[in-house]
């Protein structure tokens, strides 16, 4: 145990002594922070309506109250201020009263002249006019800002969080493989591996010690991703079980990089190639229809992504989690078995 701790501390020191080692540990934090900015806010998911509330073009308060039930209302003193809002960013409608024609005018943001679509405000005004003149009649339109019963079981988590979180955790699995691979290659270049042979440290303890740091990094960034992306309501046990199961991929890729590469540049090149192959398979899994998903079943990362997406959307079951994890670990073990001679000879 003491030798494993010493190996871990030695590996930790060597990682931060190398620029690339520190770089691939710090960059994920920047990526997850940038990803957070793409999550939609409450305001951005609701309609925004710019309304004139003063002067001859003012909208009646009863109309404003009706719109305020399901839209984000922005009030302006005159038409010029309202038009500046429409020229800005975001999805916005404008509304004002035309005293000459004695009617409301609804303006759609960047609307084409040939567009004949009814805006949300025009529908509300039509409903208000109908109710005012025909109070006994039933409502023409029924507006609701809630979730209809038939969609009540739909996940409320943003697709940016579910898809982005899944891909980020897979990215951290690849980062862990880079850390292991670069560490092994660095030891070969500096002759550290030969020096360690005369110590009581066994090969198993050496590779286990090499694996502790990347595992901790993956575990740390997983909880950071869940916190920043608002995914703490998911099944945390399933997420971390998958992280530990998928570490078999990290170990396999790391040992393969360390065995094949003779220097840092080769290690980075081989790692990029393997990562590109894996990520293309994930992309295929996202874009391909269900009846063509079998095309990418051979890639372990496909199963990691599939499980994570199910966990993050709340649709994962323990039975599905178990058999998909078994396929993922089994596929990785099959690749290790097929390449075991290459890996053993490269590491010896």
Choice between 288 and 249, residue whose per-residue pLDDT is larger: 249
- pLDDT (tens digit per residue) in 324-343: 999 999 999 999 999 888 88
What is the rounded (10 degree) CA torsion for 262, 268, 270, 276? 180
109 DSSP 8-state letter: T
Q: Starting at the edge strand that comes first in sequence, how are the strands of the sheet with 103-108 ordered?
A: 71-76, 47-52, 92-98, 103-108
Give CA–CA dist 19/191, Å, rounded. Answer: 19
Give CA–CA dist 291/230, Å, rounded. Answer: 32
Please tell me the least confidently modeled range out of 54-58, 199-203, 303-307.
199-203
> What is the pLDDT at residue 45?
47
Residues linked to residue 96 through DSSP beta bridges, in sequence order: 105
Contact 242, 307 (CB under 8 A): yes
The yes-or-no verdict on residue 13 having pLDDT over 60 is yes
> What is the pLDDT at residue 43?
44
For residue 112, give both structure tokens. 């084409």
Give CA–CA dist 21/23, Å, rounded. Answer: 5
Contact 63, 73 (CB under 8 A): no
In the chain the domains, ranked by start, together with CATH numbers, are 2-39+158-347 (no CATH), 47-144 (3.40.190)
Give CA–CA dist 121/255, Å, rounded. Answer: 62
* Highest mean pLDDT (candidates 10-14, 176-180, 264-268): 176-180
**What average pLDDT does range 113-121 have in this prediction?**
59
- Report the relative pairing of strands 103-108 and 92-98 from DSSP bridges: antiparallel
The yes-or-no verdict on residue 200 having pLDDT over 70 is no
Q: What are phi and psi of 15, to 5 degrees?
A: -65, -50
**What is the helix (H) or strand (E) element at residue 106, kind and residue range?**
strand 103-108
- pLDDT (tens digit per residue) in 80-110: 887 776 765 455 788 888 888 888 888 776 5
Contact 274, 253 (CB under 8 A): yes
**What average pLDDT does range 171-200 have in this prediction?**
77
56 DSSP 8-state letter: G
State CA 43 to chain mean position distance.
20
Angle at CA of residue 308, ends 302 and 311, nearest 5°: 145
Give CA–CA dist 278/302, Å, rounded. Answer: 8
Instruction: Kindly list the distances between the CA atom of residue 256 and the CA atoms of 221, 275, 279, in Å, as whole numbers in the listed order.
Output: 24, 12, 18
- pLDDT (tens digit per residue) in 127-147: 777 777 777 766 655 655 555
For residue 206, give both structure tokens. 């050496």
For residue 77, give both structure tokens. 């003193």
* Highest mean pLDDT (candidates 149-163, 189-203, 334-348): 334-348
The upper half-sphere exposure of residue 264, i.e. CA atoms within 13 Å in the direction of its Cβ, equals: 11
Residues linked to residue 49 through DSSP beta bridges, in sequence order: 73, 93
């Amino acid at each position: 145990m003491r030798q494993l701790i010493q190996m871990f501390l030695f590996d930790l020191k060597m990682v931060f002594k190398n620029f690339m080692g520190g770089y691939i540990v710090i960059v994920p934090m920047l990526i997850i922070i940038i990803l957070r900015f793409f999550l939609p806010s409450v305001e951005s998911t609701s309609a925004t309506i710019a309304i004139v509330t003063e002067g001859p073009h003012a909208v009646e308060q009863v109309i404003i109250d009706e719109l305020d039930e399901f839209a984000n209302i922005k009030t302006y003193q005159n038409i010029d201020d309202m038009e500046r809002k429409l020229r800005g960013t975001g999805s916005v409608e404008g509304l004002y009263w035309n005293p000459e024609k004695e009617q409301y005018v609804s303006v759609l943001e960047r609307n084409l002249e040939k567009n004949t679509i009814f805006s949300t405000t025009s529908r509300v005004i039509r409903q208000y006019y109908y109710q005012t003149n025909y109070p006994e009649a039933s409502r023409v339109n029924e507006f609701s800002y809630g979730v209809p019963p038939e969609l009540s079981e739909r996940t409320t988590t943003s697709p940016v969080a579910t898809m982005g979180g899944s891909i980020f955790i897979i990215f951290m699995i690849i980062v862990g493989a880079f850390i292991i691979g670069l560490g092994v290659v660095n030891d070969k270049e500096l002759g550290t591996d030969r020096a360690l042979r005369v110590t009581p440290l066994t090969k198993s303890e050496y590779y286990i010690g090499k694996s502790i740091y990347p595992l901790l990094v993956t575990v740390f960034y997983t909880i950071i991703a869940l916190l920043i992306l608002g995914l703490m309501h998911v099944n945390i046990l399933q997420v971390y079980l998958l992280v530990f199961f998928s570490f078999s991929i990290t170990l396999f890729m790391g040992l393969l990089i360390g065995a094949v590469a003779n220097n840092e540049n080769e290690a980075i090149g081989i790692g990029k190639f393997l990562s590109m192959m894996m990520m293309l398979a994930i992309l295929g899994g996202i874009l391909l229809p269900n009846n063509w998903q079998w095309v990418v079943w051979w890639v372990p990362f496909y199963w990691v992504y599939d499980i994570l997406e199910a966990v993050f959307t709340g649709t994962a079951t323990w039975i599905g989690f178990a058999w998909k994890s078994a396929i993922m670990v089994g596929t990785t073990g099959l690749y290790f078995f097929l390449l075991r001679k290459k890996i053993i000879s490269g590491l010896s």
